Amino acid sequence: MNIFAQRISSLRALMRAREWDAVILTGSDPHGSEYPAERYKQIQWLTGFTGEAADLVVTADHAGLWTDTRYFIQANRQLEGTGVELHKTRVPGQVLIPEWLAAYFEGQPEPVLAIDGATAGCSFVQDVLDAFSSPPTVVSSPDFINVLWEDRPGIPQTPVFTVESGSSREEKLAMLRDFCAARGADGILLTALDEIAWTLDVRASDIEYNPLVISYLLITADSASWFVLKGDVEDPDSERTFGLLADGGISVEPYDSVDEALADCAGMRICADPASLNWQLRSIADGNGIRLDCCKSPVGLAKAVKNPFEIAGMRSCHVRDGVAMVRFLHWLERSVQADRRVSEWDAAVRLREFRSEADGYTGDSFETISAYGPGAALPHYVTPSADAPLLEPSGLYLCDSGGQYTDGTTDITRTVPLGECTALEREDYTLVLKGHIDLAMAIFPEGTPGCRIDALAREPLWRFQRNFGHGTGHGVGFFLGVHEGPQDVRQNLNPVPLQAGMIISDEPGIYREGQHGVRHENLLLCVPKGQNEFGSWLGFEPLTLCPFDTSALDLDLLDKAEIEWLDAYHSLVFNTLSPFLDSETNKWLQQKCKKIATFVRCGLEPEGR
């Protein structure tokens, strides 16, 4: 019997013993994190599905996993033999968990729904309750999975250190207190890990690829309490950080004591963001007479608009990251042309080695997606460490990667022709780059949200009746998460306007199952573009510095403005990076950055075509 089918069976036995009609698990942690620590990967342990976005429902006769378009191919493969059925989201006609549960239990009085209240977001649970005409019984049982998952990892604890960010903790705490005062609140509970790290200027490695500290932060008019694991790990840097915070009026408390501290706020009005507040804490607040003001945290927008110090750091780390990328792509091309045995995993390891030589590098910002041919058709492909596919001198190779640096975070995707490409590969490659360029060239009125310009990246694909199922762009933190909001560029109606100082990714794609995938990604800084009688205007400046391989382009599909943008971008890349490269790599980069407008005017094709 499949090991995951066995685990689902064991869960059903637990449900029968506790008289639960359904169990609902979310793929997050007590802080609403996109990337949870190993301890909180309960769905992965139960089902074998390794995607970052999934929720699970198990009843007596059904087990269903809900995930979006990025993971359909992966989910179908990984769920085979488990007895878990895939439920697709972000597609026409989707039926989400609240509606599905209401339909499943229709006519059954007061079904008992069990949740891990510590990892279930309060908004999600409320949506489930609201979907029923007659409310079900919700049982919150934090960590109930421990009964089955006997070797479950503990809550991670890594050394904590402080960073410079261009603004002080005092300024940030004052901003939050002003926010509370304006709402007539007595305090605010921050539960999102990146918001806490930004507010306190602290970093750690509690979650892989994310420089975060698992903790809570409670701020009132005259106090600030940071609830964090402390004492199990002897570390001078952590002790120094805790001391600095204490000297600054921030008390450091045990992580688990947040429940007690919240109960002590009885009668107070406390702000909390429902996007990251878990159901267990909300229940404690409700049970102790706390007037919970569920509102959007002001930290998200404040940290999304980078200050001059952060912008300078992001520009600087992208130069070093660009040098690493160019060295990697040069090595990759030489290796494949020389018929060296290079697998997807070998390439990912080599890229990390190049990055590790850069000043300020602390690790990757996410697990590198190193995918050749059919593997690249999975937007969130997981590169196998053993028996990884070998790279061949033909077709397309996709590499999506990024680095964490003490002065910024990077995220870049390059799709690389490794040799002769088919007409369809060249066409897809060009259309995706065309969409990327069209968004990068955008100029738009101040106050425009990202959803209003998403179509710029899709229109070249739509014209050929092609599309991609993920968002076009996401925010990126300053030595924080590689994904952050509140801004984004996607089709979903997000009203948050883009502002100067915000950073977004620009990453359209095409994915053909069993054939190939194409994605081109740069990070863009939103910058002012002038004022006139029609208002203030914004546009983008590329932060990412790395050439796009022009040898796979079908130049007939690019217009004059797009070619001119590409040539100007390549000039910027070469002029910025060349002083930091050895002569051989420099010569290679010069060839890759050669202007193509000249060839178009002369009716020729660039070398290497």
Q: What is the CATH number of the domain that holds 88?
A: 3.40.350.10
By the 8 A CB rule, do 188 and 296 touch? no
pLDDT for residue 608: 47
Q: List helix spans (H) across 134-235.
A: 169-182, 193-200
For residues 340 and 363, membership in a common domain is answered with yes
| CB neighbours of residue 34 within 10 Å | 16
pLDDT for residue 605: 54
Tokens 């950055």, located at residue: 593
User: Any residues with CB less than 8 A from the CB of 502 and at least 6 apart, and which?
Assistant: 304, 305, 306, 475, 487, 525, 526
Angle at the Cα of 169 (from 163 to 170), degrees rounded to 5? 155
| Distance separating alpha carbons of residues 390 and 371, to the nearest angstrom | 10
Instruction: Write out the residue range of the structural domain in which residue 143 sits.
Output: 3-147
For residues 223 and 352, membership in a common domain is answered with no
For residues 30 and 48, membership in a common domain is answered with yes
Cis peptide before 486 (omega within 30 of 0): yes
What is the chain's length? 609
Let me know if residue 155 belongs to a domain.
Answer: no
For residues 169 and 229, membership in a common domain is answered with yes
Phi, psi of 107 (to 5 degrees): 90, -10
Final residue in a domain of this structure, among 83, 113, 147:
147
Tokens 């080599």, located at residue: 350
User: Any residues with CB less than 8 A from the CB of 524 and at least 6 apart, and which?
Assistant: 440, 473, 503, 504, 505, 506, 540, 541, 542, 543
For residues 118 and 174, membership in a common domain is answered with no
The beta-strand segments (E) located in 255-342 are 269-272, 291-294
By the 8 A CB rule, do 412 and 402 touch? yes
| Distance separating alpha carbons of residues 350 and 342, to the nearest angstrom | 10
pTM of the model: 0.92
Nearest to 316 by CA among 405, 184, 204: 405
| CB neighbours of residue 192 within 10 Å | 23
Structure tokens at 61: 């006769």
Q: What is the DSSP code (8-state) at residue 551?
A: G
pLDDT for residue 1: 76
User: Any residues with CB less than 8 A from the CB of 551 and at least 6 apart, and which?
Assistant: 417, 606, 608, 609
Final residue in a domain of this structure, among 122, 147, 172:
147
Let me know if residue 344 belongs to a domain.
Answer: yes
For residues 445 and 588, membership in a common domain is answered with yes
Structure tokens at 63: 């087990």
Let me know if residue 608 belongs to a domain.
Answer: no
By the 8 A CB rule, do 528 and 395 touch? no
Q: Using DSSP, how many helices (H) and how many strands (E) does the chain show?
A: 18, 28
pLDDT for residue 239: 84
pLDDT digits (tens, 9 = 90+) for 90-125: 889 999 999 999 999 998 889 999 999 999 999 999
For residues 180 and 95, membership in a common domain is answered with no
**Cα-based distances in Å from 154 to 122, 143, 151, 173:** 23, 11, 9, 31
Q: Which helix (H) or strand (E) holds 100?
A: helix 97-104
Final residue in a domain of this structure, among 98, 121, 147:
147
For residues 385 and 521, membership in a common domain is answered with yes
pLDDT digits (tens, 9 = 90+) for 336-345: 999 999 999 9
Percent of the chain's residues with pLDDT above 70? 97
Q: What is the DSSP code (8-state) at residue 69?
A: G
pLDDT for residue 73: 86
pLDDT for residue 255: 94
For residues 198 and 317, membership in a common domain is answered with no
| Distance separating alpha carbons of residues 230 and 158, to the nearest angstrom | 10
pLDDT for residue 385: 92
For residues 107 and 200, membership in a common domain is answered with no
Structure tokens at 462: 């739509």
β partners of residue 416 = 397
For residues 245 and 310, membership in a common domain is answered with no
| Distance separating alpha carbons of residues 314 and 354, to the nearest angstrom | 19
Low-confidence ranges of the chain (pLDDT < 70): 231-234, 598-609
Let me know if residue 470 belongs to a domain.
Answer: yes
pLDDT for residue 111: 96
Structural domain count, the chain? 3
By the 8 A CB rule, do 205 and 211 touch? yes
Let me know if residue 272 belongs to a domain.
Answer: yes
Let me know if residue 53 belongs to a domain.
Answer: yes
Structure tokens at 374: 């059919």
